[in-house]
């Protein structure tokens, strides 16, 4: 079975590829958790220092100002700054592909990619580090950030369900083979 797909890369694909890449990124999630948690902690300190000032006029103004500033900075970085920085990185990575149409031919061994100019590139499934999906696309990652974006609406032969089943099966078999190799190395 060969799955055929035609995908045109849009600006929206850059944003969705960023989210797909960060979905399994533990380091990114931990940093985001630290900044957001720190912002909430300083927000609680701000509120607990502000209430005595408002009610009794005996609050610690230094603590109110510092905790308010730190709360704002940490929440701004955690909620927006990290994503803006990541978006710049992904935009520079994918901006050359915006508006280009790619034709995919995917089977259980390789992924063949063609563009309108006739250029071809072939990748084996073993070169795919991981895969992910969202409502509109599949993402086959060659490394932590660089992915093939395959539109779910662009299938010309087979369906998105077939693509999901193929990606799941190939990655499952590959992961089992890697585990067996590791076990063989450990037993030697």
> What's the mean pLDDT when you consider all of the chain?
87
| Residues 50-66 pLDDT 10s | 988 888 888 788 889 99
* Residue 187 falls inside a structural domain: no
Q: Which CATH number characterizes residue 115's domain?
A: 2.30.29.30
For residues 147 and 160, membership in a common domain is answered with yes
Residue matched to tokens 């849009």:
10
* Contact predicate 37/134, CB 8 Å: no
Q: How many structural domains comprise the chain?
A: 2
Long-range Cβ pairs for the range 67-73 (8 Å, 24+) = 67/42, 67/43, 68/42, 70/38, 70/39, 70/42, 71/39, 71/40, 71/42, 71/43, 71/45, 71/46, 72/39, 73/39
Where in the sequence is the domain holding 79, given as residue range(s)? 18-95
Distance between CA 14 and CA 91 in Å, rounded?
6
Residue 140's nearest CA partner among 155, 124, 156, 154 is 124
Give yes or no for a contact between 86 and 93, defined as CB atoms under 8 angstroms apart. Answer: no
Is 33 inside a domain boundary? Answer: yes
In the structure encoding, which two tokens stand for residue 126, read together? 């073993």
Is the pLDDT confidence value at 188 over 70? no
Which of 13, 24, 21 has the alpha carbon at shortest distance from 137?
13
Per-residue pLDDT tens digits for 70-91: 999 999 999 888 888 888 888 8
Tens digits of per-residue pLDDT, 172-187? Answer: 888 787 777 777 777 7
Domain-embedded: residue 184: no
Residues 62 and 106 both lie in one domain: no
30 and 90 belong to one structural domain: yes
Q: Is residue 109 part of a domain?
A: yes
Could you tell me if 70 and 107 lie in one domain?
A: no
């Amino acid at each position: 079975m060969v799955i055929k797909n035609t995908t045109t890369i849009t600006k929206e694909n850059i944003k969705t590829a960023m989210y797909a890449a960060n979905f399994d990124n533990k380091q990114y999630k931990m940093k985001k958790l630290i900044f957001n948690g720190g912002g909430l902690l300083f927000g609680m300190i701000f509120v607990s220092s502000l209430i005595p000032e408002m009610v009794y006029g005996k609050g610690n103004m230094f603590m109110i100002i510092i905790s308010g500033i730190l709360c704002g900075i940490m929440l701004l970085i955690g909620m927006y700054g990290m994503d803006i920085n990541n978006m710049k990185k992904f935009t520079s990575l994918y901006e050359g592909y915006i508006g280009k149409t790619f034709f995919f031919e995917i089977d259980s061994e390789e992924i063949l990619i063609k563009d309108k100019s006739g250029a071809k590139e072939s990748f084996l499934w073993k070169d795919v580090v991981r895969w992910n999906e969202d409502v509109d696309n599949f993402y086959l990652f060659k490394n932590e950030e660089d992915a093939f974006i395959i539109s779910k609406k662009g299938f010309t032969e087979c369906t998105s369900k077939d693509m999901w089943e193929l990606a799941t099966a190939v990655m499952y078999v590959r992961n089992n083979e890697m585990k067996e190799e590791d076990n063989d190395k450990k037993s030697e």
